[in-house]
Structure 1
Amino acid sequence: MDPITAAALTSLAGSLGGEAGRNAWQGLAELVRRPFRRAAGEESGDLPGIGSGEAELAALRGDPDNAAHAQALATALGVRAALDGEFRVLLEEWWQGAAPASADGDAHNTISGGVQNAPVVQGRDFSGLTFHLGQK
């Protein structure tokens, strides 16, 4: 499993305005709330010094730009995955689905509907654009 980095978690927490980001975050929250298991099928409850990740998840959600919160969550997830095999498998499945929601990958643009009568800009993550269109 690729490690879940603090940067990826920060990106995900910052994308909660979009549906994909909200769905990924909700999936992680549900996963973190699962009972902690040490042995196959055996609930072990709270382990001293080992958190479920819920507090770290809440802290990052409250302050999505805080790198320390993101690192704390990444660490909590990694420790829990190392101690709980079922959690590790479920976390990996979640990460495979959530990574596209937090990735800085390619943009996929589509234009349809016939002839365009104005400029079309394709790309990703634009800000501060101004168009000065002349009268015809």
Structure 2
Amino acid sequence: MDPITAAALAALAGSLGSEAGRQAWQGLTALVRRPFGWAAAQGPEGNGTPQVSSGELEAAALAGDPADPMRAQALATALGVRAALDGEFRALLDEWWQRAQAGSPGGDVHNSISGGTQNGPVLQGRDFSNLTFDMTRGEAAPDS
């Protein structure tokens, strides 16, 4: 299983405004609410008390503040530890992660222009940066 990075979790928590982001987050929160594989997660006395975090509190904290890298790291750590101790959880987490990556925006781009004549440059694509447009119209200003 590829480790789920804190940056990926923060990006996912920050995408809760989109339908795909909400669905992926709901899948993760449902997964962390599942009971532990008790054999690996019981305390030294075998009293049934998990000795590691389920990830539920960390997920709730990150959803409340997706920009906080410490919250994202706490969730990534909780998921990693739980996956290391619980084989069933690890398999389910890997399955969820594969679906989340497949559903994340990052591949196809769908552009649409409507509404008549456009009065300016129109760019279609994805991930633009450092663009500058000279939007002056008419005659150039006289030199002073």
Task: Work out whether the TM-score is over 0.5.
Answer: yes
**Structure with max Cα Rg:** 2
Partner of 1:34: 34
69, 77, 85: which one pairs with 1:75? Answer: 77
Task: Please list every run of 5 or more consecutive structure 2 residues that lacks an aligned counterpart in the other structure.
Answer: 41-46, 138-144
Partner of 1:99: 101
Change (3 A) 1:4 1:87: same
The Cα shift of 1:46 comes to 3.2
- What amino acid is aligned across from residue 26 of structure 2 in structure 1? Q
SS state of the match for residue 4, structure 1?
coil
Q: Percent identity?
A: 64
Q: Does 1:47 align with 2:50?
A: yes
The answer (yes or no) to whether the contact 2:38–2:48 under 8 Å persists in 1 is no
Q: Deviations over 1:25-67 (max 9, x none)?
A: 0000000000001449xxx84322x010001001000111000
Task: Please list every run of 5 or more consecutive structure 1 residues that lacks an aligned counterpart in the other structure.
Answer: none
Change (3 A) 1:101 1:14: farther
Change (3 A) 1:62 1:125: farther
- What amino acid is aligned across from residue 73 of structure 1 in structure 2? L
The size of the alignment, in residue pairs, is 124
The answer (yes or no) to whether the contact 2:37–2:86 under 8 Å persists in 1 is yes
Q: Distance in 1 between matches of 2:19 and 2:48?
A: 33
- What amino acid is aligned across from residue 9 of structure 1 in structure 2? L
The Cα shift of 1:99 comes to 1.8
Q: Deviations over 1:46-97 (max 9, x none)?
A: 322x010001001000111000000000000000000110100000000001
User: Map of 1:1-136 to 2, 5 A cutoff?
Assistant: 1-39=1-39, 45-48=48-51, 50-102=52-104, 105-109=106-110, 117-118=117-118, 120-124=122-126
Structure 1 consecutive aligned stretches of length 4 or more whose deviation exceeds 6 Å = none
RMSD: 3.1
Q: Distance in 2 between matches of 1:101 and 1:46?
A: 35
